[in-house]
């Protein structure tokens, strides 16, 4: 398996409020993306704090013989700890009150995947010639789509598309959790909405398939395409390819 993470401020933002994490040891990997809430104070602090908390949890983790169910519990606890870290920081500094972040976390052990998610940063699974969205956006426009009030195409440019219905930095952040066994030689993409508001799923698939042996080139191409289309937001991509591939 090859894993890469790249982040870019985009073309309109002076500050990058996204953060990401890529850590691997043996057959385990921890991947994450976080998008500090736009329009809120200290969004960059919130996303960086979430990722730093995950990294500390990774360093303290006993990875021996974790079952998939235990992996899911670990991911849930990590996200809860990240939320508590953000709440504690904002409570102790008046200038940071109200800060928040999305967080999407993937813990991989071979082909076993535990996924945790709060906000609208996404996780995709790429298998063969298909791309599957694993997460559901916790956003106002996603609720409008499900209600039939707007189409997915209309949602792309909806004026309220950045309003989140869930985020870290709240007293009780509700976490979506998933556990699955991913197909051999599949790919996993975590990304912030700076990519997905400007690049369609089929375009993401084409770029990853074209550069599957070189995830860094694929990640850079995704970011470049988003910037070519305006780069209105920070853009962060974490891409793992060749998951569970036999090399012997």
Q: What integer pLDDT is reported at residue 39 of this predicted model?
A: 53
pLDDT in tens, 130-188: 999 999 998 777 666 676 666 665 556 655 666 788 999 977 689 999 999 999 999 99
Q: Does residue 236 fall inside a structural domain?
A: yes
Core vs surface per residue 179-193: b (16+ CB within 10 A) or e: beebeebbbbbbbbb
Determine the Cα–Cα distance for residues 248 and 246; give it in Å rounded to an integer. 6
Q: Which of 152, 133, 107, 81 is nearest to 3 (CA)?
A: 107
pLDDT single digits (tens) 204-236? 999 999 987 899 999 999 999 999 999 999 999
Q: Name the band, by pLDDT with cuts 50, 70 and 90, for residue 14.
A: confident
Residue 38 lies in a domain: yes
* pTM as predicted: 0.92
Question: Average pLDDT in the 232-247 region?
Answer: 88
Nearest to 72 by CA among 177, 168, 182, 159: 177
Domain that holds residue 141: 2-243
Is residue 196 domain-resident? yes
Q: Which of 7-11, 21-25, 41-45 has the lowest mean pLDDT?
A: 41-45
157 part of a folded domain: yes
Q: What is the pLDDT of residue 158?
A: 57
**Total number of domains constituting the chain:** 1
In a domain, residue 248? The reply is: no
pLDDT bracket for residue 38 (50, 70, 90) = low
Asked, for residue 156, whether it belongs to a domain, the answer is yes
Tens digits of residue pLDDT in 40-96: 568 899 999 999 999 999 999 988 778 888 999 999 999 999 999 999 998 888 888
Q: Is the pLDDT of residue 200 over 50?
A: yes
Q: Comparing 128 with 150, which gets the higher pLDDT?
A: 128
CATH of the domain at 41: 3.60.40.10
Evaluate if residue 247 carries a pLDDT over 60: no
Q: Is residue 13 part of a domain?
A: yes
Tell whether 168 is covered by a domain: yes
């Amino acid at each position: 398996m090859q894993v890469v993470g790249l982040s870019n401020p985009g073309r309109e933002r002076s500050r990058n409020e996204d953060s990401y994490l890529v850590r691997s040891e043996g057959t385990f990997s921890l991947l994450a993306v976080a998008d500090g809430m736009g329009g809120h104070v200290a969004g960059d602090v919130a996303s960086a704090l979430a990722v730093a908390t995950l990294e500390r949890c990774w360093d303290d983790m006993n990875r021996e013989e974790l079952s998939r169910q235990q992996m899911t519990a670990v991911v849930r606890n990590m996200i809860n700890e990240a939320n508590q870290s953000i709440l504690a920081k904002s409570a102790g500094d008046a200038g940071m009150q109200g800060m928040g972040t999305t967080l999407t976390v993937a813990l991989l052990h071979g082909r076993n995947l535990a996924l945790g998610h709060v906000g609208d940063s996404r996780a995709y699974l790429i298998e063969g010639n298909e791309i599957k969205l694993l997460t559901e956006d916790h956003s106002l426009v996603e609720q409008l789509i499900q209600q039939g009030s707007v189409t997915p195409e209309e949602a792309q440019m909806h004026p309220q598309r950045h309003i989140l219905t869930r985020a870290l930095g709240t007293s009780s952040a509700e976490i979506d959790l998933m556990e699955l066994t991913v197909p051999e030689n599949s790919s996993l993409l975590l990304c912030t909405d700076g990519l997905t508001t400007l690049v369609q799923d089929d375009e993401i698939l084409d770029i990853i398939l074209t550069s599957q042996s070189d995830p860094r080139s694929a990640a850079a191409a995704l970011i470049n395409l988003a910037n070519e289309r305006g780069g209105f937001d920070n853009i962060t991509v974490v891409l793992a390819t060749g998951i569970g591939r036999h090399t012997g």
